Chains A and B, each alone.
Chain A
Amino acid sequence: MAMLLEVFKHLFKKRATLMYPFGDREKIPVPEGLRGKISFNRDLCIGCGLCARFCPSGAAELVEDEKGKRPIFHIDRCLFCAQCEEVCPRKAITLTKTFEIAGFDRSNLVVK
């Protein structure tokens, strides 16, 4: 009963719910420095393997390609803690603001 007045006032106010994912995508606040999907720059990587060593969930896997050792990132295992970004000595790894990364196929969730 104590909230009746408050409830009536809200009849004339804007809706608080964002209708995401059916709209209101642009209204979602995405702050600077959000830890989203990893992006990786192969040219900067020196293959030191620190990202794989410190990754808490095993999302960074060290593999060999024509230029030597390099990590690949399994986003389906990623915790978005940004520890790899922090330990990378060459700033080859950055976490972008992309957060809509759900998918039906795990092979799409690998960052190379």
Chain B
Amino acid sequence: MSFSSSYERFFDIPIGPQHPALKEPILLRLIVEGEHVVAADVDVSYTHRGVERAMQERNYIQNIYLAERICGICNVAHTLCYCQNIEGLYDVEIPSRALYIRVLVEELARIHSHLLWLGVAAHEIGFDTLFMYIWRDRERVMDLIEEITGNRVTSAINTIGGVRRDIKPETCDRCLKAMDYLEERIKYYKKVCEIDPTVIARCAGVGILKPKDAIRLCAVGPTLRASNIKNDVRADDPYAVHDEVPFNVIVYDTNDTLARVLVRIDEMLESINMVRYCIEHMPSGPVRVRLKLSPPVGEHLSRVEAPRGELIHYVKSNGTEKPERYKVRTPTFGNIPALCEMLTSKGDYVVNIADVPIAFASIDPCLSCTARVVMLDREKEKLWVGSLDRLRRWRGWG
């Protein structure tokens, strides 16, 4: 990269891979002029775990639990996407009670993920009071998930052919009660985020992503919706029973971090209504169909709106009990180019170094899901992990 400046002095500041401001290993390479960031480069490849390869060595049942562990927070989205994918190979009808339970747990997980993110964002801007209160209220959702599925975080509720547990009537009552409590609290947090001077000073006008850039760089999820683009897999390509459960796609038009905060808060309110709808309209019947262990030969692709954005799973089956190829594209991966755009000063828009943590947190990064590009040169027997810069300049092997 080459630049020119009146100061003619650029500093290269590496943040990470181990840094107190980061929760996960990532290398943010910032080129700064004085206090302003003029270019940013990201290397996300410090947590490569070889999940896709490991999936080819396990059978389809074991892979449910491996897919669940791609990401702890979006574990429901990952198992849902995985199970839909494998069910697509069989071409079977899943009982509608199972689909309702799937949507119910998915939306509970979305509330928990967004509350977690909101707390982390409050912590990033130094507003730890808000962080503490939000995480206290998040415990209500965690307790509900524990009661419905049997575990606080890794729920293991979805399986190939339906869900593993039925939901009890008394759990439904407690769920509705908790939803009333959460609705009141989330509305209060929305008010705080709208009027509190700390939140506005640190979030408004920070990390701007213009709608045309958001489309050009293929941003996904709340990051895209905060740039005023109406795009949600639940609405555009309904899976499970999302075509029956009504909800609004939330968009905000200020394109900044504050818009991403408010998009997520409003999505939680929509999720609460969806949970209520699911409980009230849940049909009776079986929750699972039994399927053979080996699906027929074929390939399938499935999309799910995870809390962080669009999640894509692809499977290729060769008729045995192990997949021939499995591919995952996580939402954070789609948002990394958009992040580089947010961190680049342009014209009137300046990015200060102090704004980097919250702008970075605003895409809700989950890096352990993301790192999966490793290149292998067979002739030279060399293995390396590709950086974004290198991929951009890609001219083929050599």
To the question of whether A and B form a pair in one complex, the answer is: yes
CB < 8 Å neighbour of B151 from A3, A34, A55, A86: A34
Contacts of B61 in A (CB 8 A): 54, 56, 83
- Write the chain B residue with the least CB distance to A86: B164
Whether A33 and B150, one on each chain, are in contact in the complex, defined by CB atoms closer than 8 angstroms, is: yes
Complex interface bits, B140-171 against A, C-beta within 8 A gives 1, otherwise 0: 00010011001100101000000011000000
Q: Which of B65, B68, B198 has the most CB of A within 10 A?
A: B65
- Give chain A nearest CB distance to B2 CB in angstroms: 46
- Write the chain A residue with the least CB distance to B197: A1
Q: Which of A66-106 contact B (CB under 8 A)?
A: 79-83, 86, 95
- The verdict on B387 contacting chain A, using a C-beta distance below 8 Å, is no
- Write the chain A residue with the least CB distance to B196: A2
Assuming A7-B129, A34-B150, A55-B62, is B156 touching A81 (CB within 8 A)? Answer: yes
Whether B129 and A79, one on each chain, are in contact in the complex, defined by CB atoms closer than 8 angstroms, is: no
- Give chain B nearest CB distance to A94 CB in angstroms: 12
Whether A81 and B65, one on each chain, are in contact in the complex, defined by CB atoms closer than 8 angstroms, is: yes
Q: Which of B87-134 contact A (CB under 8 A)?
A: 129-130, 133
- Give chain A nearest CB distance to B145 CB in angstroms: 10
Number of interface residues of A (CB under 8 A): 24
CB < 8 Å neighbour of A35 from B130, B133, B151, B195: B151
Contacts of B129 in A (CB 8 A): 3, 7
- The verdict on B59 contacting chain A, using a C-beta distance below 8 Å, is yes
- The verdict on A21 contacting chain B, using a C-beta distance below 8 Å, is no
CB < 8 Å neighbour of A79 from B150, B154, B188, B198: B154
- The verdict on A23 contacting chain B, using a C-beta distance below 8 Å, is no
Whether B58 and A56, one on each chain, are in contact in the complex, defined by CB atoms closer than 8 angstroms, is: yes
Chosen A-B contacts, 17 in total, with CB atoms closer than 8 Å, are: A1-B196, A1-B197, A2-B196, A3-B133, A3-B192, A3-B196, A16-B136, A29-B143, A35-B150, A35-B156, A54-B59, A54-B62, A56-B63, A56-B65, A80-B154, A81-B154, A83-B61
Can you list the 3 inter-chain pairs with the closest CB atoms, starting with the nearest?
A56-B65, A56-B62, A2-B196
A interface residues, Cβ below 8 angstroms from B: 1-3, 6-7, 16, 29, 31-35, 53-57, 79-83, 86, 95
